[in-house]
Structure 1
C-alpha cells in the first residue's frame, strides 16, 4: 500500500457522508481540504474553501492547490418532490457539468486520482430476487438523478482515457448511520412511537451500507493501486427484507417492531390508490448489490456489522429525541 496522498480535497464535506469521511481522514493523520458552498460551517481541523454553487462555471483554483486526490461527494441529490420545470436539466447542471468542470480543473492542477461518489440508481431501481446488480451490468437509470449520475460516470471515464487521470467510481445503495434523514429516520420515528406498521409480510431483499463502511471503502480507494479506473458497488454484505430491517432496527431502539402481516399485493394497491406507488416499490421490491469485485480487487471487507451499525444509528436517534 502506498503512503497517504499529500492533500485530499473533499467536496460536499458538510454533508451526511462528508462529515464522517473528513473526521476519519483527519483521524488517520491526513491533510484534508474541504470544499463547501459556504464556509460558515467549517469542518474541524481541516482547511475549508468556499466555492459557492457547483456548475460549469465554478472556480476550483484555490481548492485544488497541492491536491493529489479529489473525493467528489457534492451533488444535487435525489429529492422526493421535485418542482423543477425540467428536473433532468437541473440535475445535469450540478452532477454532470459541475463534476466535469471540477475534473478538468483537477487534471490541470496535477491531481492524480478522482473518486466520484455515484449511486446504485445508475444500475436501476430494483432487482429480481436473488439476482443482484454487478459493476459490469449495463446501466439502466430511470429517474433524473440516476441519469445524471450515469452521464457523469461516462464523461469521467472518457476523460480518464484521454488524460491519464485515475477515476474511481463508487455506487452505494441507501446509506444509514448517525444523523440519517428521510425514510430511514421516519422508520425509526414510527418504531420509537410504537406505531403498528403493515409491513410484516415483505419477503424482499435489499442491500444497504452503513456510513462507517462506506467511509472505510472511500478511504481505501484513496491509495489502493487496484482502485484506479474501476467502478465499485458498495454494501454491508448482508441483505435484509423490509420486515427484517424493521425488526432489527426496533431491537436496536429497544422498541420491538409492531408489524402486521399485510399481503404485498394489498400494500401495492393501497399505495397506488394513495398516489404513492414509488413508496410501495421501495418497501416491497428487492434491490440487491453484488460487492464481490469490490471485496476481491481491494481486499476489502465491511468493518462494521449490520447490527452494530443499527445500534449506533439508533443510539444517535434516541439521544437527539
Structure 2
C-alpha cells in the first residue's frame, strides 16, 4: 500500500513511517511548508500529522494555530476529496474535545475546547465532518491522548530527570489518573485501520488500555532507573500559588504546566477496539512507559 504522510519528520511521523515501511508499505513524505505542494495521486491513504503543537508556555500567537491546524487541513482535505485516494486520517487531539475531564472521556461527549490549540483542531474536525464523502472514501479523525515513545521529549523527560537525579517529586499531594498512548500502540492501531476496509468513517480516540497516576509514573521511573521513589506531599494550595507566580514571572512551573502534571485525564479507547474487534492492545500502559523511560538512559 502506498501512503502519504504529512509531518513525517516529527516524533510520531518518524516512528509511524518506519513501522509502515517495515510492514511492506510504501511511504511518501509530503511537506506542507511550501505553498506549491500536491498530493501524490497514486497513494491509497493520507495520514495528516502536520500541525502546530500545544504551547504550554502560552506564548504563541493564537491565530497561528488556526492557520496551521485548521486552514492547512482544509486545503489538504479538499485535495483529497478531488483525488482518487480512498482514506484520510486526520490526527486531531483529545484536547479538541475537552481541556479537563471528569470521569472518562469518550467520542460521544460534547466537544468544548478552551484553548486556541483545541479550538483550531475542532474547527478542522467540523469542516471535515461537514463535507460529503464520495463513494469509496473513508475519513478517520484520530484523537490521541499524550503520546510517548523512544525519542520523545516533553513532560515525561522532565519527570525522568527529577527522579533519576534522586530529587523528590513535590506534587505527590495531587491525586490524579491519566491516560497515555504508547507509540507502539498508535502504530498498531493505524496499521490495522489501513488493513481493515470494514471500519466505518468517524472520530476515534486513541489511548492505552489502562490509566496511571503521576505517582505511579514516578514509581515506574524509579524502578527502571534503579532509584528509590521520593514522593513529597506538599500542600496542594501552596503549590498552586507558586504556579500562579510562575505565570507572571515566566518560570518553568506555571499554571498550565502544573495542570498537565497533576490533572486527571482519562480517555476511553473502547470505540476503536470494538471497531477492530480486539480486546486489548499489544503493549500495556506500564510496558510502554518503561520502554520510553529506558530510551532516556541511552
TM over 0.5: yes
d(CA) in 2 for partners of 1:13, 1:314: 23
Match of 1:72 among 43, 48, 72: 48
User: Which sits farther off after the overlay, 178-187 or 215-224?
Assistant: 215-224
Residue 110 (str. 1) matches residue 84 (str. 2): yes
Separation (CA, whole Å) in 2 of partners of 1:177 and 1:308: 11
Is 1:191 the counterpart of 2:163? The answer is yes
CA distance in 1, matches of 2:245, 2:123: 34
CA distance in structure 2 between the aligned counterparts of 1:199 and 1:226, rounded to whole angstroms: 45
TM-superposed CA distance for 1:109, in Å, is 2.3
Q: Shift of the alpha carbon at 1:226?
A: 4.1
The TM-score with structure 1 as length reference comes to 0.85
Contact 1:60–1:102 at 8 Å: present in 2 too? no
1:206 aligns with 2:182: no
Mapping 1:1-321, distance limit 5 Å? 6-36=1-31, 51-53=32-34, 58-61=35-38, 63-84=39-60, 86-87=61-62, 89-128=63-102, 131-159=103-131, 161-164=132-135, 165-275=137-247, 276-300=254-278, 301-319=280-298
Distance in structure 1 (CA, Å) of the matches to 2:125 and 2:27 = 24
CA displacement at 1:202 relative to structure 2: 2.7
- Offset at 1:274? 3.1
Give the conservation status (yes or no) of the 8 Å contact 1:252–1:310: no
Distance in 2 of aligned mates of 1:227 and 1:263: 48
Question: Residue 127 of structure 2: SS of its match in structure 1?
Answer: helix
TM-score norm. by structure 2 comes to: 0.91
- Report deviation, 1:240: 1.0
Tell whether the 8 Å contact from 1:7 to 1:31 is kept in structure 2 after alignment: yes
Equivalent pairs, count: 290
Give secondary structure in 1 for the equivalent of 2:47. strand
Alpha-carbon RMSD across the aligned residues, in angstroms, is 1.7
3-state DSSP of counterpart to 2:78: helix
Q: Which stretches in structure 2 are left out of the alignment for 5+ residues?
A: 248-253
Q: Tell me the distance in 2 between the aligned counterparts of 1:91 and 1:169.
A: 18
* Residue ranges of structure 1 left out of the alignment (5+ in a row): 1-5, 37-50
Distance 2:97 2:157 in 1: 25
CA distance in 2, matches of 1:263, 1:210: 32
Instruction: Please report how far the alpha carbon of residue 224 of structure 1 lies from its aligned counterpart in structure 2 after TM superposition.
Output: 2.2
Q: 2 CA distance for matches of 1:81 and 1:274?
A: 10
Kept after mapping to 1: 8 A contact 2:81/2:133: no
CA distance in 1, matches of 2:263, 2:290: 25
